[in-house]
A and B are shown apart, each in its own frame.
Chain A
Amino acid sequence: MKNAEEILALIRDALPQARVELVLNPSVSAQHSLRVHPADMFAVASFLRENQELVLDYCSNVTGVDWPGKEITEKVKVTKIVDGVEQVVEETVKRTEPGFLEAVYHLYSMKLGPTAPHGPVVIRMRTGNRTDDVSLPSLTPVWRSAEFQEREIFDLFGIVFTGHPDLRRILMWDEFEDHPMRRDYIDPDDYEYEPTPHDEVLKRAADHAKAEVAQ
């Protein structure tokens, strides 16, 4: 069984230009993954499939992850001239880290099967941001089983897979505009009737009742 480091070494040997890095999973499962630059993804995926030591011919799962942008407050020490004297002053700096979307693929080998099991081999790639730069290369030409799951990610997360043979919404209707699995999705206000409202639901039901009375 090859682990992520060994697979990374194989990729580096075969495709020295490919931008691949190891993403460590610090939890007990230690399921490390490989992050691949979108531009190199097609070559890396084809290599993983065709390489005779790996033969990762089965893509069992494709999923999306939404990483919203976050605001980070940091204390930075800055040297400043205060009243003609150079001093080290501590300043709080706020910066926003832009968010991005991620597509994660889980690969196994059917051909090697139980004789040399390795898997899941996890590869992932990231979009530039969450608004306009959301294109990633589709891996459906490499693994046919990715077709419906990439459509699902397109539907629920809004990642556009270039090269996908049939990129349409799969769960929601075509006229739908939102992406419900994004963390900033706001579900429609249909809180007319809540038999046992509590917490967030109670607040939304009360807001709805107020809005309805105001109309």
Chain B
Amino acid sequence: MAVEPDLKIELGKQGVVVTTISEIYNWGRRSSVWPMQFGLACCAIEMIATTMARYDLARFGAEVFRPSPRQADLMIISGTITKKMAPQVVRLYNQMAEPRYVIAMGACAISGGPFKQGYNVLKGIDRYIPVDVHIPGCPPRPEALIHAFMMLQKKIDAQPLTGEDRPRHLDAAAQGEFPIPVQGAHDLEPPVNRLVWPLPAPAPSGDCG
């Protein structure tokens, strides 16, 4: 149950802090998201720039890049995912502890980008793992990554602790491990995880050739 904002301000003036468990819990989580230190392609350069002095991601509590998935909360998919790399990305995601979040950064991570029709490029990481925020761009500016980060913080803030919409880490029945695709004779098998990618999209109109 949320506190009325006006009442909260009025009480604050009198030196009384009123809050809810979920508010303080989510405030704590969103204020120290630790990203995983791993870059895939040119977007990683922008991600590095975002963490450095000029853009300073530390202002949002995310300055601690962890080289181990066990200690990270956020995976920033920064670049092209080749089909050779995709199983390792899913494996790293599986190794992260809940609660965990994913930002797909750049055209390649979203859809394959300019390499979409290539024989060795995955057409978007959201075929295998759930993505919280997508950033378009090739590569996105550091400001775009910061914006995505703020969107993620808003998303964390809005997560309820109970009920149907509670996050995966508070739901004992939720699926925690995502199947790692196998490198097959012609393609990754399966080519898509239907649980996280429940398309097909509406069939393209027309049978034109």
Contacts and interface: CB of A to CB of B under 8 A. Distances in A.
B204 A206 contact: yes
Interface in B138-188: 183-187
16 contacts: A176-B185, A176-B186, A178-B186, A180-B119, A180-B120, A187-B117, A187-B119, A188-B187, A192-B200, A193-B201, A194-B201, A205-B203, A206-B204, A209-B200, A209-B204, A213-B203
Nearest to B111: A195
A192 B192 contact: yes
B209 interface: yes
Interface of A: 171-173, 175-178, 180, 185, 187-188, 190, 192-195, 197, 201-203, 205-206, 208-210, 212-213
A197 B204 contact: yes
A176 B208 CA distance: 32
Interface string B188-209: 0001100001011101101111
Query: B interface, by DSSP: helix, strand, loop or mixed?
Result: loop
B123 interface: yes
A173 B84 contact: yes
B200 A212 contact: yes
Query: 3 tightest A-B contacts by CB?
Result: A188-B187, A209-B203, A180-B119
Contact of A202 (B111, B117, B119, B206): B206
B187 A192 contact: no
A175 B183 contact: yes
A202 B208 contact: yes
B111 A172 contact: no
Nearest to B84: A173
Interface string B114-136: 00010110011000000000000
A173 B189 CA distance: 13
Interface residues on B, range: 20 to 34
Contact of B201 (A188, A192, A210): A192
Contacts of A205: 203-204
Nearest to B183: A173
Interface of B: 83-84, 111, 117, 119-120, 123-124, 183-187, 191-192, 197, 199-201, 203-204, 206-209
Nearest to A206: B204
Contacts of B117: 187, 201
A188 B191 contact: yes
B204 A202 contact: yes
B182 to A, nearest CB: 8
B183 A176 contact: yes
Residue of B111, B123, B200 contacting most chain A CB atoms (<10 Å): B200
Contact of A192 (B119, B183, B199): B199
B186 A203 contact: no
Contacts of B203: 205-206, 209-210, 213
Contacts of B209: 203
A190 B206 contact: no
B207 A206 contact: yes
Contacts of A213: 203
Contacts of B186: 176-178, 188
Contacts of B204: 194, 197, 202, 205-206, 209
Residue of B123, B124, B204 contacting most chain A CB atoms (<10 Å): B204
Nearest to A202: B204
Contacts of B187: 188, 190
Contacts of B192: 190, 192
A178 B117 CA distance: 16
A202 B206 CA distance: 9
A174 B207 CA distance: 37
A178 B197 CA distance: 27
Contact of A193 (B123, B184, B206): B123
B120 A175 contact: no
